[in-house]
Chain A
């Protein structure tokens, strides 16, 4: 919806790029737009045409599980909300018109069967590809029976069943007999990890299956069992492991480690599954009444064609190839970027971060062409002490409202309400004609309040507010009554009651409007400066992107040099280029730029608010006096620490090291000869990760690929390695294929778990490690000359607490800093103007760190690119006359908007920072003296609505 409404975004649907000419900064794209056959500006989404259409076909959105008409809207929240004609299904062809039913039914004349395709030539500076992915087609794997047996479905199909707005309204039923399934089985890695010719891991399927398994019981309590057949559970992201652990509470969810060998259909359409439970070494024959295939993500059809058109390469698995390692959103062509699953399957938080990262980098090519900001309209103030003069506009919305309630009568009744001076009916209030009528009546009747009884304010309030503004009336003097979505659409068979309800809702709106106030947005200037805290790869990438967007940047680093942890790595997965790592390249770029770098320094104080922060610094040795800084945005990239193993891991022994220490040894050419004297190395995964009693409870994400990388490197030095793992979480790009390579090279992988702890053998040094191999159910002893502990990432309070308190960013339960929302705001925090990137938010690999860093720069840029920040005035305000400085509001606000202040007369009161307040109104409820007013949702307004409603509640 935000994209649809955005003034700077032109949305071309049914469009394809057929040619791309030019170079970065100056491309010409040829776009072919297929005709919609519906005029989007005129269509109001009323749906009358769909009812009239005689042609039915399968709905792609519901994956063929439900039907639609030839003229349709894919789903209710589609943007644009206009309908579209699928010409393949429509009875008409380009030459023959045989059916005009939809056109005849449409009261808005919005249907045009004569619409022609259009070719547009767009001059653009950069291109971003976000074409997504498609689900693997499991019919090629005959053994799964998909397409032949009824009760085998893909996970996306299952999603549609689970979805409340799907074809079954959220009821899960078996396709064969429509009964609720009792024993579901999820089969993981379908079309992945080697199957069906696809070697990679699809990243999201493990979590998706666990989510579905947890959800299903809420939808269908009769479900008896949900089994997940897996090879590794890749719960690698923030909060993922904790989510999976929730299944411990549920007896009906079972995890069985094994890939099914054979499936057979039984009578009654059940499925029999042959699978080895590798943990118990038993061969199972499972009975399932519904099998869900967790299919991998594959490239969208047309990827190869589009790559051709754009002059890009695709990678070995058919997705758009990235231009260079550790440049995760660049393609092989400068100026063209890729984000999301178009580059390879991703989980949603990673897709969103990549999208912002692509935007950051793409904006480099367009930063000169800033769009002019429109002049704001200034409303005429209404006279002080003026009596309310309310105009009521009742919309028929074609027949949507008009067919169910008698709008003329409503208008007549509404005119009798107190303070109403005009009351009338419009066919489509939101259309140009409707809006012009509103503007005219405002002038004619000198209205100072407008009530529109129509659809929902959630979509149309901005439309009517704009109309008021254009007529010179403050846009906050508008109130809507929802008589369509919440009345005629849901009470269409109870016409009398719908009429009564409409009248009640209008009366409520009229009563509220008396108390509406003229509100004015606060304008705040912003300082066009970005402060990046932390000089590792995340900080440097964020600083470079911000700088390339045209902002001044200050980068502050606590240690004496830039580069962070990555600088001290011997080589980087997966290309192993010795002594050349991403940190070096970034350091070079930073040094060559205008970025102001403060080394050996820390942030001392932060004050101010979004767009207007003031920061002071201090050097670590206290020598220099550093200038205080005015900055508009702050990006936190301070990274995180590595877990320090304790005695339990025998870390005190001379031949037990951490993976970071191994990197150092490789870097300094094994000066102490530890490698020279070793023939056999053993890596232990999950040291300090996925633990309840020490370190981090979640997955540290980088350690599996790192250990594999190190094992391959040691192999080249003649050392054989064994990796002891719990799950192999090879989720980084290309990591699964790398895993295959490592096994080929003879590196051994043995599986242990927390229930069977490792036993270290040896006196002064470790000589062997024994444990119960969970896949062999046998005690195994692995000889070891060298033990490498793959230590996890943890957020040490001492490292980050000072900065956290200065910025007021909350910390999650897991110790890492909390993002605003894992999907909708992965790099933002609840403090406006403060952003996060890198491992301070959660453990991740270098590629994902760089992505987040660019994303953070993009978000900071979005904030500072505007000339002014307009803060919505629907915020809370303290009446200084009534405040008694009890501090309750300060305690209760998540956004730290209220603060205590001393007035000139010495009185202490609370004050709410308008730029930080989000207008939720919670503080207004908790304030004991009622001195807080929640503007636009005041007690008076709410009270008036309640009184007006029950004055005459029509039932």
Chain B
């Protein structure tokens, strides 16, 4: 669109101006035994090199998580080098091989983010290679000088303040009867004995918000709404939980994170204006994509990043789900537009207690959407849909477009699509955000049942009672989580089917992960698939 082009031009101009006096800011992760020692060797030999570099020492290059590197870009780095020992020389035998494996994931993520691939490097420098260290640094800094400052040059917004403590009364909690129904039904409380929704409320009522100081269990809630389902006082527990998380800093509660916090760092980057991602590589030629005039937008969500980080057996299914969604839409005559620079919906910011960042990203995404001609947005990810539908109005007002889940859309056009008959069966898992949050139970089922020969099984706890997949917002994961997931898999086994279909990319990832690892005698053979990916392979 016109405004998009102007924006790009402006960004280019700003970039050129900055480059006039541009001094690269480079960070190097150096392993203690080789690379850091190599830098010392350069020092002892008094070999001069560019001062635009700072070293961060770890014992082994294998210690460097991709999230550290992304964090460096979030904070304003222009280039990052990960450096370790030559193969065969690692002080810890194979740590550098592991570093290389993680680096490959990092390269994919950096590619998606639209960062120039030359902004990161993986180097093997030994303790005796002082001159080589200097050479590597000089070459890298020059390279960065040529390509200019990082698009995220503003670093992250340090003016964002966290919220002040609030009055719990405003959240209706005084109406709590302390009946215990919430804890009775809560799947987390069942497997995490320290956690209880009721106890948190009770403390809050009798002693105020400060009673929750240092209480780590506020991070345990999955906001699955099982409790809200049964609460006689209609307490909005999920909302309350998010609000308490927003003041977690004041309450001295540290947040945990999984996967090194890499997804947190990626979403932090997306709050910055100048990001220009490269996230549509997965789109194949057989998919018909709309153009600027299109009135339907397909919101793809963060699946490309998950695919890059987790690799197989996730990537194929996650990307296949997106492709199938488009194929299905094509079948009913829709050529959806895809946002070239689609940023994260921001759901996880709310769950991490960062409402300011949520507001920032909501504004940016809203801008993107308003710059299209879309009158309607189609979602496969229930989380994204719920966020735009329920949370965006609170911060930006009315989006002014129709928000619809693909299951609703397809179900209403079911007569236009023919599926291949199949002699298979699968159980279906109702995602929290699709089921309890949105009331969409029958639509996915209708679609699946329309396949001739397909035997749809119901889990023991289904529909409104469906049990959450165990994780949300990449915050926490532990043995209790695994227990929850195992219980779910046992339910699948009990249906007699070896397959499980789900309609949410997060559910897919978490339940598949639950299958990894040791000692899963009952459940190890369940094949988990995303519903759209499944449908896509059965299209005629």
| Residues of A that sit less than 8 Å from B by CB | 76-77, 163-165, 169-170, 456-458, 482, 484-487, 489-494, 497-498, 500-501, 504-505, 508, 830, 874, 881-888, 890, 892, 894-895, 900, 907-909, 918-922, 924-926, 928-931, 934, 937, 939, 942-943, 945-947, 949-951, 953, 955
Contacts and interface: CB of A to CB of B under 8 A. Distances in A.
B300 to A, nearest CB: 24
B171 interface: no
B524 interface: no
Interface stretch (B130-138, B434-442, B494-502, B525-533): B130-138
Interface string B33-47: 000110111111111
Given A921-B62, A946-B56, 6 more contacts: A485-B44, A486-B40, A492-B48, A494-B51, A908-B519, A920-B63
A937 B58 contact: yes
B129 interface: yes
A820 to B, nearest CB: 9
B247 to A, nearest CB: 21
* Chain A CB within 10 A, most for which of B24, B51, B131, B482: B51
Given A458-B36, A922-B98, A946 B75 contact: yes
Interface in B90-140: 91-95, 98, 102, 128-132, 134
16 contacts: A76-B44, A164-B131, A165-B130, A170-B131, A487-B51, A490-B42, A490-B49, A492-B46, A504-B54, A884-B517, A886-B513, A920-B62, A931-B478, A942-B56, A943-B71, A950-B25
B102 A486 contact: no
A76 B91 CA distance: 22
Contact of A946 (B72, B95, B131, B516): B72
Interface residues of B, number: 68
A888 B25 contact: no
A907 B55 contact: no
B27 interface: yes
A928 B513 contact: yes
Nearest to B29: A942
B302 to A, nearest CB: 17
A892 B98 contact: yes
Contact of B58 (A484, A921, A929): A921
A71 B380 CA distance: 75
Nearest to A940: B254
B32 interface: yes
A947 B102 CA distance: 22
Interface stretch (B228-236, B256-264, B388-396): B256-264
Interface of B: 23-25, 27, 32, 36-37, 39-49, 51-52, 54-60, 62-65, 68, 71-72, 75-77, 91-95, 98, 102, 128-132, 134, 155, 256-261, 476-479, 481-482, 513, 516-519
B257 A930 contact: yes
A925 B59 contact: no
Query: Which 8 A/B pairs are nearest by Cβ-Cβ distance?
Result: A485-B43, A955-B23, A922-B62, A921-B63, A950-B75, A497-B51, A886-B517, A920-B60
A164 B129 contact: yes
A930 B517 contact: no
Contacts of A486: 39-40, 43, 55
A699 B83 CA distance: 36
A955 B52 contact: yes
Nearest to A892: B98
A895 B94 CA distance: 10
Given A164-B128, A908-B479, A946-B72, A922 B44 contact: no
* Chain B CB within 10 A, most for which of A458, A482, A490, A939: A490
A485 B57 CA distance: 14
A950 B59 CA distance: 22
B431 to A, nearest CB: 21
B64 A925 contact: yes
Contacts of A874: 59
A24 B259 CA distance: 62
Nearest to B98: A922
A61 to B, nearest CB: 14
B84 to A, nearest CB: 11
B128 A165 contact: yes
* Chain B CB within 10 A, most for which of A830, A895, A931: A931
A884 B51 contact: no
B517 A920 contact: no
Given A884-B478, A920-B63, A169 B131 contact: yes
A171 B93 CA distance: 30
Contacts of A490: 42-43, 46-49, 134
A946 B481 CA distance: 31
A882 B477 contact: yes
Contacts of B47: 490
Contacts of B257: 930
Given A882-B477, A955-B25, A925 B75 contact: no
Given A164-B131, A920-B92, A955-B23, A485 B63 contact: no
Given A886-B517, A908-B479, A920 B54 contact: no
* Chain B CB within 10 A, most for which of A504, A874, A922, A937: A922
A218 to B, nearest CB: 11
B43 A456 contact: yes
Given A882-B478, A908-B519, A946-B71, A922 B63 contact: yes
A888 B479 CA distance: 14
Nearest to B137: A490
A893 to B, nearest CB: 9
B130 A458 contact: no
B194 to A, nearest CB: 9
A164 B75 CA distance: 36
B98 A937 contact: no
Contacts of A895: 92
Contacts of B261: 930, 939
Contact of B51 (A164, A501, A888): A501
A77 B102 CA distance: 33
Contact of B75 (A892, A949, A955): A949
Contacts of B481: 884
Contact of A508 (B56, B59, B62, B478): B56
B54 A930 contact: no
B55 to A, nearest CB: 6
A937 to B, nearest CB: 6
Contact of B94 (A881, A894, A943): A894
Nearest to B158: A951
Contact of A950 (B46, B63, B72, B517): B72
Contacts of A77: 44
Contacts of A169: 131
Contact of B57 (A457, A498, A951): A457
A930 B518 contact: no
Contacts of A939: 65, 260-261
A884 B59 contact: no
Contacts of A885: 479, 482, 517-519
B131 A76 contact: no
Nearest to A894: B93
Contacts of B130: 164-165
Nearest to B30: A486
Contacts of B128: 163-165
B260 A501 contact: no
Nearest to A504: B54
Given A955-B23, A955-B25, A942 B68 contact: yes
A883 B479 contact: yes
B518 A458 contact: no
A925 B65 contact: yes
B59 A947 contact: no
A921 B59 contact: yes
Nearest to B92: A920
A930 B46 contact: no
B192 to A, nearest CB: 9
A946 B102 CA distance: 19
Nearest to A505: B54
B149 to A, nearest CB: 11
Contacts of B479: 883-885, 907-909
B42 A946 contact: no
